[in-house]
Structure 1
Amino acid sequence: MKKYKGFKGVLLIDDDAATNFIHTKMIERADVDVQVTAINNAVDALDFLAYTGKYSGTEHMPRPGVIFLDINMPGLSGWDFMDEYRKMDDSLKARMVVIMLTTSINPADKERALKNSDISTFLHKPLKPHMVEDFAMKYFEEEI
C-alpha cells in the first residue's frame, strides 16, 4: 500500500450507516494506507476535527487528509458543516481536502460546492477505490 505525506486518515461524514460501511470498504480496497473514521453527523465531525466533545483527548488519532462530506443530513447539513468548518482555526484544518460526496442531482448543489474555496470537488456516490487513489496522487506527495 502506498503512503502519502499528510494523508494518514479519511473522515466520512454521512448520516447513513450503510453508506459509511460501504465507503469504508471501498477506501480499504484502495492502494492507499489510511485510517478511516466514519461519523454520522456534522456536529460530531466538527468535534472530531477540533478535539472537543466526545472527541476530547483524541489527538493521537490520525487527522484526515480527505473529508468526504454528504450534503443532506438531519440537524446540520453538509452546507452547515462547511459554514462551521470555515470558522475553525486554520491549524485544525491543515492540509485537509474536502470533497462533497452526495446523491444530489441538483445542479445548484454542484455549482455551490464548486464556488466554495474550501471544497475541492463535487462527486456522486458511491465512492470507488480508484477515486481515493486519484485524490491521493492529486493532492498529496507519495512517501518513498
Structure 2
Amino acid sequence: MSKFKNLDCILLVDDDLATNFLHRKVVQNTGIKAHIETANSGQAALDFLCQLNKYQNTGETPRPGIIFLDINMPGMNGWEFLDEYDKLNEAQKAKVIVVMLTTSLNPDDHKRALDNKNVTTFLNKPLRKEALMELADKHFGLAEIEE
C-alpha cells in the first residue's frame, strides 16, 4: 500500500455507474491508501465538497486530493461544476487537483480544460493505473509504502 502526503481521498465524478465502478477498481489496484468517494453528478460532487445534503454532518470524511471529473453529464455537466467549484472557499478546495477524465475527442474540450485555472490535466477514459500513480507522485509525493 502506498501512502501519499495529503492524499486522503479521491473523488470520482461520473454519471455512469459502471465507469465509477471501474475507476474505483483502478484506484484500489494501485494500492494507494485513500478513501474513494463517487458522485454521479456535478451537484453531488459539490454537495460532497461542501458537506451538504446527504453529506451533512459527515465531518470525518476526508477532503479529496484528486477529483476525476467527467465533462458530459446530465443536469450539471463538468464545465458547470467547474464554474461552481471556482466559487467555493479555499478550505473547500484545499489540496484538490481536478483532472478532466472524459471520452471527448473534441480538441476544443481539451483546450478549454487546460485553460481553466482549476484543471490540472486532461485525460481520456478509462483511468489508467499508471496515469493515477504519476499524478499522485507529482502532486502529493510518496509519504510511505506499507507492506
What is the TM-score when the length of structure 1 is the normalising length? Answer: 0.97
Q: What corresponds to 1:54 in structure 2?
A: 54
Q: What corresponds to 2:116 in structure 1?
A: 116
Q: Tell me, in whole angstroms, the C-alpha distance in 2 between the residues paired with 1:109 and 1:13.
A: 17
Q: Tell me, in whole angstroms, the C-alpha distance in 1 between the residues paired with 2:136 and 2:100.
A: 16
Q: Tell me, in whole angstroms, the C-alpha distance in 1 between the residues paired with 2:136 and 2:53.
A: 30
Q: Residues 1-144 of structure 1 correspond to what in structure 2 (within 5 A)? A: 1-144=1-144
Offset at residue 142 of structure 1 (A): 1.8
Contact kept, 8 Å, 1:23 with 1:127, in 2: the verdict is: yes
Contact kept, 8 Å, 1:49 with 1:63, in 2: the verdict is: yes
Q: Tell me, in whole angstroms, the C-alpha distance in 1 between the residues paired with 2:27 and 2:4.
A: 14
Contact kept, 8 Å, 1:31 with 1:133, in 2: the verdict is: no
Q: What whole-Å deviation, never above 9, does each CA across 1:60-83 have from its counterpart, x for those lacking one?
A: 012110000000000000000000
Q: Which residue type is aligned with residue 87 of structure 1? A: K
Q: What whole-Å deviation, never above 9, does each CA across 1:65-120 have from its counterpart, x for those lacking one?
A: 00000000000000000000000001110010100000000000000000011000
User: In terms of mean alpha carbon deviation, does 100-109 or 35-44 score higher?
Assistant: 35-44
Paired residue secondary structure (2:142): coil
The aligned length equals 144
Q: Which 4+ stretches in 1 moved above 6 angstroms?
A: none
Paired residue secondary structure (1:87): coil
Q: Which residue type is aligned with residue 83 of structure 2? A: D
Q: Tell me, in whole angstroms, the C-alpha distance in 2 between the residues paired with 1:7 and 1:37.
A: 13
Q: Tell me, in whole angstroms, the C-alpha distance in 2 between the residues paired with 1:130 and 1:30.
A: 8
Q: Tell me, in whole angstroms, the C-alpha distance in 2 between the residues paired with 1:114 and 1:94.
A: 20
Offset at residue 31 of structure 1 (A): 3.0
Q: What whole-Å deviation, never above 9, does each CA across 1:21-43 have from its counterpart, x for those lacking one?
A: 00000010013111111110111
Q: What whole-Å deviation, never above 9, does each CA across 1:4-33 have from its counterpart, x for those lacking one?
A: 111011000000000000000001001311
Q: CA RMSD in A?
A: 0.8
Q: Tell me, in whole angstroms, the C-alpha distance in 2 between the residues paired with 1:31 and 1:133.
A: 10
